[in-house]
Structure 1
Amino acid sequence: MSINVEWVKQLFPELSGIRVLAEGGQKWVFTCIHPKYKNIVLKIIKPGNENRLDREIEAVQRIPNNVPQIFEVKLVPTQIGGLVVILEEYIDGISLSDLLGNRKLSRNQLLQLTYDLVFVAMNAEENKIVHRDIKPDNIKIDRNGKAWLLDFGIARILDLESKTKTDAVLGPHTPGYGAPEQFRNLKKNIDGRADLFAIGITLYEAASGKNPFIVGARDRLEVLRRVETQPLPVLKLSWDVENKYSGFISSLTQKYPHQRPDNCKEAFEWFNEIRKSMGD
């Protein structure tokens, strides 16, 4: 089953400028113009993928900054049955993965990215949210250089009952970015520090041009083994003379949660001190 632009036009005649943005395992995604909300992202959830949807929506609505706003969620009757449709704020920009390609970010770009990611993680933590899938594909950089965090599809809401089976061998994660406690499904150990780990890996990749856990790995299992057992090579940056920034990244990417900053607020305050010491 596939949904195309013509089908969407018939279902939503009020929309214009409809273009395909992406199709994943869980949803069809389009960009379009809405008469009230202007530029939006239209997400149509594939049947059978509604299980985590309520959590994704609640997670997004709890976080006030650096996350695209959800305008509407509705059940739309169609010839193939009712489909859940989400109307979401469109962020005009480029994904971090596309921006990186095979290059590194500049000093100023990297510092701005660090600020934005740790800031949104702090906001999430304050609202009992662990994103659990922070990576370049899920980060969008707008035309002003601000980073936005996308796709809360596997987010954990800590004050609600977990939807992941406790006896599952692996917890939801992306290999190469998910923290060891996350893919090991050690639920009691999963909090904002798991997001700090993923942020650290993402920033390392943005600074060096590669993710050492992924590059050259034979398969997924080798990636997980590297994440669990191999330290990241020391990050060397010409402008980081006193190694304060590389030390920050090293702390975020420690294998055990207790070796990382105690929480995202502490990490945010630490980074701001580093930034000030650099004259920013």
Structure 2
Amino acid sequence: MLADTLELREFIKIIYPSFDLHSTAKASGQRVVYFGSFHSRLDIEPNNCDSWGEVVLKISEATSRSSISYLQKEIEILKSMDSDCFPKLFFDEVITFDPLTEEPLNPMRIISIEEKIESQTLTDIIRSYNSEDKVVSFLIEMLSALRLLWGHTQALVHRDLKPDNILVRKDGRLVIIDLGILRQEGVKGVTNSFNAIGPCTPCYASPEQAINDKKNISFKTDVFALGIICYEMLSGKNPFLDGDGEQYFDDILERVCEFQPPPLEIYGASTEFSRIVGKMMSKEPFKRYRTVEILLQDLEALV
């Protein structure tokens, strides 16, 4: 598994000599994420890199067909996006040879460079979304942004919506990041169908992810995760985490599939908003909202 090491930092310095590495993001998934900037541009470096300002440099190892597919999908979608709701992709490349020895790299490494967004993660400020009005506004903005994925020609599903993957700009606007496990509806997956679970973060996963029910992965999977986030905002806790002790992967997923959280009314939400979030978090996908438009209509009626 790729990790932030002196060797990796030296590898980046050889490829991008004028890149000043400022800091490292916390470990997440199969890649290492650095923050930094280019203080100039050499001939071997990307065009205009010295004009990008602060950037996010992501480096991954393509260890399998599925990892290559996910990385390529994220890069492809970010290239096609023209929205402030997602980070801009400046550059990407695949490194197949060691820059020092010129020997083939196995596994090869994939690098992408994105804009650095001045923001905080939702994780850091989730407690400030402590009223129904704020949560409803958050949900409407998230749904509007995600429609760019759900309504894409490839009908994409994020599959890993969680507070760590939502940035809040200084002016309050939201940005969705980490499209690393995007899935296209109705297309054969790249992970093994016999896996017990699908790619996910357990406490923000849907029941269909928990049992790797690929045929039922759709925009409703992301809607379930948004329901969990809204529930957490108003209740102060994730409904599928049990107490403060050690949380086991399988135990969390069992609660996702079996545990029915009490209605949000007990935490002060209105009856109607409690009903909306409850419907978003229905265990069976067919019981959730049939379309995004119907969900937005219900939310806008509250506003």
Q: Is the 8 A contact 1:5 1:19 kept in 2?
A: no
Q: Offset at 1:149?
A: 1.2
Bigger radius of gyration among the two: 2
Greater length-normalized contact order (CA 8 Å, ≥ 6 residues apart): 1
Q: CA deviation at 1:106?
A: 3.2
Report 1:1-280 matches (<5 A).
2-3=5-6, 8-16=12-20, 18-33=22-37, 34-48=49-63, 49-65=67-83, 66-76=85-95, 77=97, 78-79=99-100, 81=105, 83-100=109-126, 103=127, 105-107=129-131, 108-127=133-152, 128-158=155-185, 160-216=187-243, 218-236=247-265, 240=269, 242-275=270-303
Q: Which runs of 4+ in 1 moved over 4 A?
A: 3-7, 237-240
**Structure 1 residues 260 and 25, CA gap change in structure 2 (3 angstroms):** closer
**Quick one: percent identity of the two aligned structures?**
27
Tell me how far 1:93 sits from its aligned partner: 0.9
Corresponding letter in the other structure for 2:54: N
**TM-score if structure 2 supplies the norm length?**
0.80
Which amino acid in 2 is paired with 1:43?
A: K
SS at match of 1:176: helix
Unaligned runs of 5+ in 1: 276-280
Structure 2's unaligned 5+ residue stretches are 38-48
Distance of 1:165 and 1:47 partners within structure 2? 17
Q: Deviations over 1:76-120 (max 9, x none)?
A: 4534835321011211111111223xx352335423321222122
When structure 1 is superposed on structure 2, of 156-165 and 177-186 the one drifting more is 156-165
Aligned-residue CA RMSD (Å)? 2.5
Give the equivalent residue in structure 2 for 1:278. none
With the length of structure 1 as denominator, give the TM-score of the two structures: 0.86
**Number of residue pairs aligned between Structure 1 and Structure 2:** 272
CA distance in 2, matches of 1:206, 1:270: 19
**Which string of whole-angstrom CA distances, capped at 9 and with x for unpartnered residues, describes residues 146-199 of structure 1?**
121111111102265421222322111211211111221212111100100001
Deviations 1:193-219 (A, max 9, x none): 010000100111122210121132752
